[in-house]
Amino acid sequence: MLIFSVFKTLTDQQVTVELKNDLSITGVLKSVDQFLNIRLDNIQVLDAARHPHMMAVKNCFIRGSVVRYVQLPAEHVDTQLLEDATRREAANPSKR
């Protein structure tokens, strides 16, 4: 729930999603759901020369379970707020 909320606050920001097939995709985060499935707009594949498969793709839907990392825009992440929210959720794990 917590991480889902964090991603919601980052909608319309640019992120880079690294998948478990080693593909890295940069784009504008358009939406996220409870499974952390991700929708990206205006995408670009890292190392497009090696991966021309998605050349003509404008936007995409990524299954949450195949995400390895998401690089977040640090300037839009309030780390103090995150830590407080994490402690709160740890103290009250009912909503996990």
Can you give the binding site for another protein, defined by CB under 8 A?
1-3, 6-7, 19-23, 31, 33, 36-37, 39, 43, 50-74, 77, 79, 82-83, 85-87, 89-91, 93, 96
Two tokens at 45? 């594949």
Q: What span, in angstroms and rounded, lies between the C-alpha atoms of 74 and 54?
A: 27
Q: What span, in angstroms and rounded, lies between the C-alpha atoms of 7 and 1?
A: 10
Q: What span, in angstroms and rounded, lies between the C-alpha atoms of 94 and 14?
A: 32
Nearest approach, Cβ of 74 to another protein (angstroms)? Answer: 4
Q: What span, in angstroms and rounded, lies between the C-alpha atoms of 36 and 64?
A: 5
Q: Which residue number, 12 or 73, has a Cβ lying nearer to another protein? A: 73
Nearest approach, Cβ of 77 to another protein (angstroms)? Answer: 5
Nearest approach, Cβ of 25 to another protein (angstroms)? Answer: 8
